[in-house]
Chains A and B, each alone.
Chain A
Amino acid sequence: MKIYDKLIFELSKPGRKGYELPKTDYAGNALKDIPSNLLRKEAPALPEVTELDVTRHYTNLSNKNFGVDTGFYPLGSCTMKYNPKINEELAAMPGFASLHPLQDEESVQGALELYYNLQQALANIAGLAEFTLNPYAGAHGELTGLMVMRQYHMARGDHKRTRVIVPNSAHGTNPASAMVSGLEVVEVKSRPNGSIDIEDLKPLLDDTIAGIMMTNPNTLGMFETEITEIAKLVHEAGGLLYYDGANLNPMLGKVRPGDMGFDIMHINLHKTFSTPHGGGGPGSGPVGVAEHLRHFLPNPRVVKDAEGRYHVTADSESLGSISTFLGNFGVMMKAYAYILSLGKENIRNVGPMATLNANYIKESLKDDYLLPIEGACKHEFVFDGLKDKSTDVTTLNVAKRLLDYGFHAPTIYFPLLFHESMMIEPTETESLETLDEFIDVMHKVAREARETPEEVKNAPLTTIVRKLDETGAAKNPILTYRAMKEACAK
């Protein structure tokens, strides 16, 4: 790999530019029309470079990227599946790509039809009545879903329900979204396998509970087998069930959250439905609800009339608007392309293949890595570091060593249920050969940890940037070129 570590500011030469404006009488005169109090005193410190400088700079930077297109990316809980190129091709079609959100309804019937059809497809996949595609990302979807929950209780005049139950193994966004939506978080304990402890749940269920937020499979990748019992208890207590779609991938086409008893859910299109994420975003977090909650979904809505025409409307019982216009439309196009290219039959294979791949890696590596929970997992699983900890090689060391071998590291130190968590999610799109390569390298790293532990502790050894000072980065972040120059001068 070519070594390239320049900032664009370092390429700057005073007076160098990539354009030449024609000399006219107007040049420089525009400034006269701007009030002097709005004019800046000095020119902005922008880099002065040519077009070729810019092109080379960003091309070189892009070559340093690691993505699903360059290698295996087993980042647990993120569902880094391959993003088919046909998605991009369709989303780039000028008829869609150059639409303006304020265009007349009649002139965007195709786009509205896509929104409506995708919403329906997700409703079918989820076993729910209707989706809004407006939320911009997963956490935004959670907030929207909780707002639906609140709106439902308020509409019934039930103002006591101000608390929401969240398992202690939940993704951090769950309690964060609950706080932002004005609800109080109540923690329910999980059992050693990550599933909810029903005996701990029961006493929490009183008339102040708005609902419960869950994933299934849970954060440890294990299926909540008692979900119907949990749903019954929560519903009897007058609460609603919220499904965090973060772990939807293994369920795809096999189990529907609506059938499990969930009332509200969000889906991360950028995970389950193959749209880019992780710096490549943007995301999209559609929210689906059961029949009795559909009026509370945010405005604007897309409806279909008896003649097959589509309209953008507002529902008077809605919780209001949570986005400008109809959300991240480009992402919706990619997800729709994915659903249609797989089709009803093939989409049923996604979950089983993702599950098979995860179990294959888990069973192949549990001789060297500590598996705290035995049994079949779903799309992902968690190791508690190396089995042999006698040489003090940590999960962080293993993760860094993987970079030397060309693999992206798994999610580490999450969930917090174990000290040395290493969360691996291969997804369904990887071949047996790739999985075997990864397994070989993981075994190799475990062997190195036993025989040459210093090598693993000093990893990465072959990357352009070596081991980073994480404490220093957290305590003294240098976030601008100016700050970097000052730090270097010292």
Chain B
Amino acid sequence: MSKIVEELRYADSHEWVRLEGDIATVGITDYAQHALGDIVYVDMPEVGDEVTAGEDFGAVESVKAASDLISPVSGEVVEVNEALEDEPGLINQDAFGAWIMKVRVADTAEIDALLDAAAYAKICEE
């Protein structure tokens, strides 16, 4: 069974978000890393890039497949997790620890529209 963290928000495309002030930290879920298998490459945005909710901001490549990363929020990228460049497998070890990007969100209300843990758990069961 994949892990789901109670206090996070989720997108149905399997990204998680943690909001602190106006900074949203974004990663992919444990369910997603499990489905992808061993991750070999993470294509991340650059600091300063604008991302838009519902549009892709990068991609993850595993031995099975390559998948787009869909941004759950809109705003400016303020930091990316550089550790993933050398060790993309960190996501497999701890999907909720190995965040991918931090975004200064324009409208924090966007986060309210995302799924809570219970609703996301339901999607994973389907």
Cβ–Cβ < 8 Å partners of A232 in chain B: none
Number of chain B residues whose Cβ lies closer than 8 Å to a Cβ of chain A: 9
Cβ–Cβ < 8 Å partners of B38 in chain A: 470-471
Bits for A464-485, please: 1 = Cβ < 8 Å to B, else 0: 0000001100110000000000
Q: Which of A416, A471, A475 contacts B65 (CB 8 A)?
A: A416
Q: Report Cα–Cα, A474/B64, bound state, in Å.
A: 11
Q: Nearest residue in A to B88 (C-beta to C-beta)?
A: A475
In the assembled complex, B109 has its CB within 8 A of some CB on chain A: no
Q: Nearest residue in B to A474 (C-beta to C-beta)?
A: B40
User: Nearest Cβ in chain A — how far from B56, in angstroms?
Assistant: 12
Residues of A in contact with B, size category? under 10
User: Nearest Cβ in chain A — how far from B97, in angstroms?
Assistant: 19
Say yes or no: B40 contacts A471, CB within 8 Å.
yes
Q: Nearest residue in A to B87 (C-beta to C-beta)?
A: A475
Cβ–Cβ < 8 Å partners of A474 in chain B: 40-41, 61, 63
Say yes or no: A470 contacts B65, CB within 8 Å.
no
User: Nearest Cβ in chain B — how far from A483, in angstroms?
Assistant: 18
Chain A interface, DSSP helix/strand/loop, else mixed: helix
Q: Which of A413, A416, A419, A475 contacts B40 (CB 8 A)?
A: A475
Which B residues between 44 and 61 are near A, CB-CB below 8 angstroms?
A: 61
Q: Nearest residue in A to B31 (C-beta to C-beta)?
A: A419
Cβ–Cβ < 8 Å partners of A413 in chain B: 64-65
Say yes or no: A419 contacts B63, CB within 8 Å.
no
Which A residues between 438 and 490 are near B, CB-CB below 8 angstroms?
A: 470-471, 474-475
In the assembled complex, B35 has its CB within 8 A of some CB on chain A: yes
Cβ–Cβ < 8 Å partners of A471 in chain B: 38, 40, 63, 89
Cβ–Cβ < 8 Å partners of B63 in chain A: 470-471, 474
Q: Nearest residue in A to B92 (C-beta to C-beta)?
A: A471
Q: Nearest residue in B to A418 (C-beta to C-beta)?
A: B35
Q: Nearest residue in B to A471 (C-beta to C-beta)?
A: B38
User: Nearest Cβ in chain A — how far from B71, in angstroms?
Assistant: 17
Residue among A416, A419, A470, A471 having the largest count of chain B Cβ atoms under 10 Å: A471
Q: Report Cα–Cα, A474/B61, bound state, in Å.
A: 10
Cβ–Cβ < 8 Å partners of A416 in chain B: 65
Q: Report Cα–Cα, A413/B66, bound state, in Å.
A: 11
Say yes or no: B35 contacts A419, CB within 8 Å.
yes
Please name 16 pairs of A and B residues whose Cβ atoms are closer than 8 Å in the assembled complex, sorted by A. Answer: A413-B64, A413-B65, A416-B65, A419-B35, A470-B38, A470-B63, A471-B38, A471-B40, A471-B63, A471-B89, A474-B40, A474-B41, A474-B61, A474-B63, A475-B40, A475-B41
Closest 7 CB pairs of A and B: A474-B40, A413-B64, A470-B63, A471-B38, A419-B35, A475-B40, A471-B40
Given contacts A419-B35, A470-B63, A471-B63, 13 further A-B contacts (CB under 8 A): A413-B64, A413-B65, A416-B65, A470-B38, A471-B38, A471-B40, A471-B89, A474-B40, A474-B41, A474-B61, A474-B63, A475-B40, A475-B41
Query: Which of B's residues lie within 8 Å of A, judged by CB?
Result: 35, 38, 40-41, 61, 63-65, 89
